[in-house]
Each structure stands twice: as structure tokens, then as C-alpha cells.
Chain A
Amino acid sequence: MTSILIRGGRVIDPSRGTDGVADVLVEGNTIAAVGRGIEAPDGAQVIDATGKVVAPGLIDLHVHLREPGQEDLETVASGAMAAAAGGFTAVCAMPNTDPVTDNQAAVGFIVSQAQRAGKARVYPIGAVTLGQRGEQLAEFGELVGAGAVAVSDDGKPVGSSHMMRTALEYARTFGIPVANHCEEMSLAQGGAMHEGLVSTRLGLKGIPAAAEEIMVARDIILAELTGGHVHLCHMSTRGSVELIRRGKEKGVRVTAEATPHHFSLTHERCEGYDTNAKMNPPLREHEDVEAIRQGLKDGTIDVIASDHAPHHYDAKEREFDNAPNGIIGLETALGVAIRDLVESGVLSLPALIDRMSTRAARIFNLPGGTLAVGAPADVVVLDPTERWIVRPESFRSKSRNTPYAGAELVGRAHQTVVRGRIVFDIRTA
């Protein structure tokens, strides 16, 4: 049995509310012991974590890995490697692949590709409707049986309220959340960025905040009606935060995520028609960024998810309104989060680990998110103070579309351990 001793780090485990210097011993694929003065067993690999933070591996509930269909942009293997390099031990892959992950075989394919890659864990998310066409429910039972952990038609909303209601009701059978991309399409159609002063100046069609909020309100109402668990993807507006806060107060089963870009960048980033600032939902206003941060602080927004969305460079080398939405985020999420949430005093480091790991595991009912003895040995060792410059050419992701190129971020993963194996080590990377 292989073992790893991670020695002398500040061990933060939000699942147990602990934060202090300790050693972590991994044996096989589980956590064997956490405490001070643990002796390294014979043949153990030793990681000196002095001055670093040891935490449960980060979990990203929202990534696009493009396989099958667009393997030139990303594959399950390259995405899982990028995840590991970003400190993630598990990611949830959205089903908007080609073909759509709407059946047992498609889910099984992603599971097996992830196993072959042997990097971060990849949990498939199945489609809500066949082909994500919004017409007929996918077979949730088959999807879950093959390994899906949630259902979503992400990339587009479940437009029909009836379909959303049915999905929420039916998903209860399997105890999985329905993750929705919140966008009222008749308001959002053709929009290229947030509707506001910047879209007015640039002459780009705007997507009003209301397009998101109408859908957020609808989904909360339907979750209340059905008792199902709705998970709201990539929340971007202050109105959405307010609606979720009220929903939670009423006891509705609503959870929500926010991306690093939505709590760090505003619509002004679209100046100069930078297509790496084009995403959906769009970058919003300063007040929205503040509200998202506040929502993360008070728990209204449960988790941080990257919405990692790889695109080929020449797809982004287009007129703004013809360029695709989305940016990659797996390798920058932690650095942006520490810089813009921890350094600015919004979240403590333990609270950040909670939003990026423990809570994510809990709301999607995933293994991990804890360093309890006997838990899966998914661990990250990170330096929370290291300042580094984003160089997209050194990304493990196959794509380079990021608005953070050249930016200075704070904090990065040094070692990532998945199932008791070091899958990323900055010293040998």
C-alpha cells in the first residue's frame, strides 16, 4: 500500500471546522490520519507543506470538457489535467457535448475516459432533455445508473416551465439536483454583453439582468412547488442574489454557484471588443460583482464554479457579436478567488475552501470535500500567498481563451492528490 505524508502544513478542513498546523497521512486511497508528529511509514512519499495550506481537494461543479465532439478544444484527459493543476480533485462535466450526454452510454464514455486519464475525478452531468432540445425528458435513472451526478441542459435554459417542473419532480426520485442555466431567451436573444452603459457605448445588443432574474424567480417558484432541488448555474446579478436569499429564507431547496469572473470582472472589461470578456451570462456591473461577493460571504451563493469553457483561438478571433461565449477557468479559479475574495477580506481562507470544496461536495452529494479519517484521499496543497502571472501558453488545458492573461493572481496549487496519488506536483510540472 502506497502512502503519502503531507507534513507541517496549515490544515484547513471546513467539514470538521478545523484549521491548524498538522500532518496528513494518506494510505492507499483514503485519509489515514490527521495530527501532529505523524511518523512517515516506510516508503512513504513525504511532501513538506511548511508554510502552505493543506485542504480537501477543490471540486468544480461546472465545467465543459468538449469531449466527445470537440476534442481539439479539450478532452476529458486534458480537462482533468488542467483541473489537477488548478487544485481541483473533481469536476462535473456539463452534457452539451456532441453528441449530447443524454444517455447511459454517453455518461459511461465520460466515466471511462476519466478513469483512463487518471487525473482529477470527472463526474458527468446528464442532460435534462434529449439532445438538450427541451422536448422530452432524458432517462434520469439510466443516467444516474451510469454515473451522472446531476442533470442540466446548460448552455441553454430549460425554457418550458412545464418541462422544468417535471424535471424537478422526477429528479427527486434519484436525489439529484436539476442545474439550470437561467436565461429568459426572448429577452436575451442576440445579446452579446450586459445591457448597460458599456453596451450602449459599444453599440452591442445587451442582455438585461432581468433575463436572468426572471428565470431565477421561476426556478425558485418551481422548486417550491415541487420540493425538488434546483441548482442555479453561474449567477451574475444582484437581483438574482436577492431572489435566492429570499428563496432560501422560505426553505426552498435552491442552491447556487458563481464563477470567478462574475465576482472579479465587470462589463467594462468588454471595452475594445475583447472577445475574451464575452461570456454568458455576461460580465455585469460593479454593484452586481459586490452582490455576488456578498452572496458568497453570507452563503446565499453556495459555491464557486469555473464554467470552464474552452474555445479555439480563432473562434474568439472574431467580431464581438459573432464570437462564442465563455472562458476557461480551471487553472485560474483559485488564484482569482484568493486575490479577489480572501485578500480583499470578503472570505476567510477556510470559508473559501468551503465554497470551493466542502459545500460543493455536499450539494451535489459527491465524495470528498473533507479530510476526515477514512475519507477519499483527495487533497490539495496550496500556497495561498504566492503571486504569479497568468501565462496561458503554459496551461494544461488545450485552450487559451482567458481574460486573465498577464494578470497577477494570488495563490496556486502546489500538489494535488487524487485517490491517494499525486496527480499534479508543481515541482515536476
Chain B
Amino acid sequence: MPTDAASLALGKDLVGLETLSPAQLRFILDTAEPFKEVSERAIKKVPALRGKTIVNLFFEASTRTRISFEFAEKRLSADTVNVATQGSSVSKGETLVDTARNLEAMRIDMVVIRHGSSGAAKFLGDRIASNVINAGDGKHEHPTQALLDLLTLRDKFGRIEGLKVAICGDILHSRVARSNIWGLTKLGAEVGVCGPPSLLPRDIEELGVTILPRIEDAIAWADALNVLRLQLERMQAGFIPSLREYNRVFGVTRDRLARAPKDLVILHPGPMNRGVEIDSDVADGEHSVILPQVTNGVAVRMAVLYLLAGGTGAVAAAARGEAA
């Protein structure tokens, strides 16, 4: 049992990494390790969350995050229900607070929420007794994505501390970037951000990151690149002139990587726009950890589900002085 277990408790919800301590982040990553093995078993299922009901409430389309959570839930033996906005009462104008009250009335144990508005996960968590896990809220945070990125980096380098990680692309609109910045800086990595200045948020340096003006700077500086997806809408909204030019100026290409002083590990949260932010031969190359990221996603989400589910009775148990 680690010392001072109470300080490791995640609380009721996982809204973001901003509020977690370095010890809590390490604890989640450590807990994810044994869950990797569960997914390698012939019967990929343990009864840890048997009888728990989990709703995956997705207000935005998402395939990989939803599937990853669903696998994680099912491998922990939870009962899961998927609610997508299409065809649900949500698309008929029901407010988030009404949705929350309805879920509460159905006595569900956990909600995994993906929503287009920043703060939606906290909003929900503040209003229901169930555990809430943020699967991406607007441009705010996507904590499980950052956790799987951290786990993948730790697998590859054996450590996070002292690593130089450059997050490349549309930082302004990216919840993945924000969660990564919190997670990486808390665990002692150096973080650089690289992208067109029109896609960098105001005062981002004050979060303790270095701005790398050009992709060549990022490649020369970093141990690993986390390449963000560039949405087509950014071009329509006038942030960049064209995807073609984006690739020419900011694309992570084999030629650019060839000039790097060392081999860079390449991460991408997916889904990729091949030929825009990343070239296919980089995405599929020997230094890409994009598929291990996906594998680790299930393990990290199992760990988070498991830790939050165990947390509820824990305070009382700790008060009784029981050891685990």
C-alpha cells in the first residue's frame, strides 16, 4: 500500500489532469500496467466492476474513444449503455441538466461524457452523484487521451521526467494538447508547442511550455512529437490558408525527420489526416507508437474506471483504519 493513500484518491470524477497531483498521475499509470495484461488473456475479462452500470454519453461523434471506453468497461464486467446524440432526446433540445437528472434517476454508477462544450464534464459531475469521466469536453481537456500518451511515452523511454515532448498542430482548439501539457509538465517533462501562431492560444507560455515557431525547430529539439489532427474546418474559418500549405510548412514528413539529430518517437491521438499533419510513411514508420497508443488507451481507461469505482467507499474504509 503506498503511503498516504488518501492523497492518491481521485475523488468522484475525472474531469481533467490540471487538478491532479504528480503522485496521482503516476498512480494511474502504475495501475494501468497490470491492466495491459488483462487484455492479453484468452478471456479478456475480470469481474472488478460486475454490477456497475456505466453510460457512455457521447454528444459528439467519436469512434475510437467510445470503443476504447466500451472495451475497458466490458473487460471490467460493467454493464454499459451507449447514448449518442443522434436520435436521442438530447438532439430534441433537452438540456444537459435535464439529461443529468434523468441519468441520476436511473441509478447509474458512472457516466463517460464526450461533449462539445468546455466544462460540460464538470457541469455534469457537479450535478449528479455518479462518477463522471471526461472523454473530451470542448477545447478543455481529454484526460484519458493524455494518460495513454504518458503511458506510451513511459513504455518507450522508461521515464517521463526530463523528456522533451513537442505538441504540434492546432493547439488553440485542442483538448488533447491541454491535457498533455498538464500531464507532461506535472511529471517533469519539458513541453514545446509548435503550430501556426493563429492556432496557438493566448498566453500559452504561462502554462510552462516553450513555443517552437517552426516544425523544424520542434524536430531538432524534441525526443518525441505528439502530432495533433488538423480539422478541415480550420481552413474554412480562416486560421490557415489551405491543408496543402499546412502540410508544406508544418507537416511531419520523413524528409524533415531525416534531418533530426536523433530518432523521434511519433505519437498521434487519431484519427489521422495522412498527408496533412503527418505523412503516411511517418505514421507507419518504425518510430511511430500510434498503435501502442491505442492499446494503452484501453488499459488506462480500465485503470481510471477501476480507481474511480473503488474510490467511493474508500474514505469510509480509510476512516475505519482498514488496510487494503
Contacts and interface: CB of A to CB of B under 8 A. Distances in A.
B117 A202 contact: no
Interface stretch (B2-10, B203-211, B224-232): B203-211
Interface stretch (A44-52, A106-114, A216-224, A313-321): A313-321
7 contacts: A197-B203, A201-B207, A203-B178, A204-B118, A319-B96, A319-B120, A322-B117
A212 interface: no
Contacts of B137: 203
Contact of B206 (A197, A205, A272): A197
Interface stretch (B24-32, B104-112, B138-146, B274-282): B138-146
Interface string B132-174: 0000011111000000000000000000000000000000000
A115 interface: no
A273 interface: yes
Contacts of B95: 314, 317-318
A196 B120 CA distance: 20
A195 interface: yes
Given A199-B202, A202-B118, A273-B123, A321 B96 contact: no
A273 B119 contact: yes
A291 B139 CA distance: 31
Nearest to A315: B95
A197 B117 CA distance: 18
Contacts of B139: 203-205
B258 interface: no
A203 B119 CA distance: 8
A272 B118 contact: no
A136 interface: no
B117 A200 contact: no
Given A195-B202, A200-B203, A320 B119 contact: yes
A208 B201 CA distance: 11
Contacts, number: 65
Nearest to A273: B119
B46 interface: no
A314 B127 CA distance: 13
B97 A314 contact: yes
A200 B137 CA distance: 14
B117 A199 contact: no
B312 to A, nearest CB: 23
A206 interface: yes
B269 to A, nearest CB: 15
Contacts of A317: 95, 97
Given A195-B202, A318-B95, A200 B119 contact: no
Contact of B96 (A202, A206, A272, A318): A318
Given A318-B96, A319-B123, A320-B119, A203 B202 contact: no
B115 interface: yes
A285 to B, nearest CB: 10
A400 B184 CA distance: 41
Interface of A: 195-197, 199-206, 208, 272-273, 314, 317-322
B162 to A, nearest CB: 25
Given A197-B202, A319-B96, A319-B119, 5 more contacts: A196-B202, A204-B138, A204-B140, A318-B96, A322-B117
A203 B118 contact: yes
B18 interface: yes
Contacts of A200: 201-204, 206-207
B237 to A, nearest CB: 10
B207 A319 contact: no
A319 B202 contact: no
A322 B202 CA distance: 22
A34 B104 CA distance: 64
Interface in B169-188: 175, 178
A204 B175 CA distance: 11
A206 B204 CA distance: 13
Contact of A320 (B18, B117, B141, B207): B117
Contacts of B175: 203
Given A203-B139, A314-B97, A318-B96, A196 B203 contact: yes
Given A273-B119, A319-B120, A203 B140 contact: yes
A206 B119 CA distance: 15
A200 B209 CA distance: 13
B140 A319 contact: no
A322 B137 CA distance: 13
B122 interface: yes
The 7 closest A-B pairs by CB, nearest first: A273-B119, A203-B139, A203-B140, A319-B117, A203-B118, A197-B203, A200-B201
A357 B110 CA distance: 55
Contact of A202 (B123, B140, B203, B206): B140
Nearest to B95: A318
Interface centre among B96, B139, B206 (most CB of A within 10 A): B139
Contacts of B96: 318-319
Interface string B47-63: 00000000000000000
Contacts of B115: 319
B203 A318 contact: no
Nearest to A272: B122
Contact of B202 (A206, A272, A314, A320): A206
A194 B264 CA distance: 37
Given A318-B95, A321-B138, A201 B119 contact: no
Nearest to B140: A203
B65 to A, nearest CB: 17
Contacts of A321: 117-119, 138
A199 B115 CA distance: 18
Nearest to B59: A319
Interface string B204-248: 101100000000000000000000000000000000000000000
A196 B207 CA distance: 12
Contacts of A196: 202-203
A195 B172 CA distance: 12
A320 B178 CA distance: 18
Nearest to B142: A203
Contacts of B120: 319
